[in-house]
Amino acid sequence: MRDLWDRREFAWYLAMGNLKARNASTALGLLWWVLNPMLLGGVYWLVFGVIFDRGELEEGVSFLAYLLSGMFPFFFTQSSMTAGVNSIVSNTKLLANLRFPRLVLPLSALMESLVGFLTSILVFYLIAGPISGVWPSHTIIWLLPLLVIHVVFNFGLSTVVARVAVPFRDLNNLVPYLTRLWLYLSPIIYPASFIVDSTNEWVRRSAGLNPLVSILGLYRYALVGEAFAIDLASAFLNATLWATGVALLGVVWFIRYEGKMARYL
């Protein structure tokens, strides 16, 4: 971990280089990191907000603000996983020619996704403010500790999928389906009360097994100012425990396997 800290600048420049190279051939370039979740959110808003006339939730908040405040954080987790899967297997030449902690690669993948997510928070208010009347309030102070928790959680996920993807290359094809399933299991396109107030006991218990239920609830409180049927204290504790557990599991598992990676690469 000390070596990882000493190479933090290397991780940052690697992340920014990948970010620029990934979008160098497109006309809009880096804007696609914000446009992707916006367009996906626009599709769901058109289907559920317009066609099904879900204009406003029971809490008096527009469906558009509710949708985007969940879609942007979810896309941060999704992009961290996607970049983490390819972080090791796509840098075989770098691994063969340079000696450095392999954790730098999933860390740089996380940094790459974080830049896009921070930009999307500004875009959220540029959209939700004029259209839905949602502007930053005193609850925005929750954003800083929540962002730390979310970054730690995503780093753990990134290291887990990076480690699994080395011997099991098919994971790259499975991740889009896993994240799409995770999207539908999380309260993003439907109200959080659907889970909390469900008469199905399995649905209620599954909320405790899905860390994004707590994380998204906290983001909505920070960005929109409404808890949406989520107990904030329980959600904060649950999100912290999930982030700590996943990060410890991912980092320790990755480091113990690090010496065997060259065999598969």
**Would you give per-residue pLDDT tens digits along the chain (265 residues)?**
777 777 777 777 777 777 666 665 655 556 666 777 777 777 777 777 666 666 566 566 788 888 888 989 999 999 899 888 888 777 777 776 777 778 888 888 888 888 888 888 888 888 888 888 888 889 999 999 999 999 999 999 999 998 888 878 778 888 889 998 898 888 888 877 777 677 677 777 777 788 999 999 999 999 988 877 778 888 999 999 999 999 999 999 888 887 777 666 6
Given a contact cutoff of 8 angstroms between Cβ atoms, the answer to whether 78 and 196 are in contact is no
Structure tokens at 50: 């317009």
DSSP 8-state secondary structure symbol assigned to residue 49 = I
Buried b (16+ CB within 10 A) or exposed e, 220-229: bbbbbbbbbb
Amino acid found at 73: P
What's the rounded Cα separation, in Å, for the pair 108 and 155?
10
How many Cβ atoms are within 10 Å of 129's Cβ, its own excluded? 13
Asked whether 191 and 58 are in contact (CB, 8 A), the reply is: yes
Which tokens is 206 given? 């599954």
Q: Please answer whether residues 215 and 149 qualify as being in contact, where contact means their C-beta atoms are separated by less than 8 angstroms.
A: yes
CB of 69 closer than 8 Å to CB of 221: no
Helices 143-165 and 104-132: angle between axes, nearest 10 degrees: 140
pLDDT tens digit string along 63-117? 888 888 898 999 999 989 988 888 877 777 777 677 777 888 888 888 888 888 8
Beta-bridge partners for 56: 62
From CA 162, how far away is CA 87, in angstroms rounded? 6
The pLDDT value given to residue 203: 72
Dihedral sign (CA 205, 72, 81, 11): negative
The C-alpha atoms of residue 32 and residue 182 are separated, in whole angstroms, by 22
Q: How far apart are the first and last CA of the chain?
A: 23
CB atoms within 10 A of CB 26: 10
Task: Please say whether the dihedral angle defined by the alpha carbons of residues 145, 209, 250 and 71, taken in this order, is positive or negative.
Answer: negative
Dihedral sign from CA coordinates of 55, 124, 239, 242:
positive
DSSP SS3 for 56: strand
Please answer whether residues 133 and 33 qualify as being in contact, where contact means their C-beta atoms are separated by less than 8 angstroms.
no
**Residue 175 CA to chain centroid, in angstroms?**
13
pLDDT reported for residue 216: 92
The phi, psi pair for 52, rounded to 5°, reads -90, 5
In single-letter form, the type of residue at position 22 comes to R
CA 225 to chain centre: 20
Which amino acid, residue 108?
S
